[in-house]
Amino acid sequence: MFNYNRYDRQLGFRELQLNRSDLIVSKTDLKGVITYANTSFLHISGYATDELVGQNHNIVRHPDMPRSVFGHMWNKLSRSQPTYCYIKNLAKDGSFYWLFAYVVPDFDAKGNVVGYHSERRAPNPKAIDEIANLYEKIKKVEIAEGLEAGMQYLDAIGNARADSCESYIFNLQNQD
């Protein structure tokens, strides 16, 4: 299902990679608490169902991830809009894996948002170096100036390279 790609002898971590056909799916409630995790998510994260369901989705958040990426995502979702993003997650054993995520609100029959649905696929390998460098810069902005400044920096990059952050991310995923 996924491959161990890299082992760092000093740090001992491995990079896991999804195959192009893998699809990771999860659902959360309005506060980000996991209500569903598919088998692919369980396999790559190293968690059992009972270890994930009922936990906040940030249980798999890698410390390299800027808070601004999630701030941007939650801003979009709070307006009932879908969002694309690259995510670096942390597996239970300390390994990490990159994902291309598409996150959308879940609606009930009356049109009320009742949670969120996330589908994640293998990222375009050509995009990871660019995204990793961008995320490192955003984290520096967050440390120096705060979360809002980091979100503004992310939006400015997206607007400079495409017409929005989502377009920029989507274009990176689909580049040849």
Contacts of residue 2, Cβ cutoff 8 Å, sequence gap at least 6: 16, 17, 18, 19, 22, 43, 44, 97
- Check: pTM over 0.85? Answer yes or no: yes
Which CATH number applies to 2-173?
3.30.450.20
The pLDDT score that the predictor gives to residue 11 is 56
pLDDT digit string (tens) for the chain, length 176 residues: 555 454 555 556 688 888 889 999 999 999 999 999 999 999 999 999 999 999 999 999 999 999 999 999 999 999 999 999 999 999 999 899 999 999 999 999 999 999 999 999 999 999 999 999 999 999 999 999 999 999 999 999 999 999 889 899 999 999 88
Q: Give CA–CA dist 114/47, Å, rounded.
A: 25
The pLDDT score that the predictor gives to residue 19 is 87
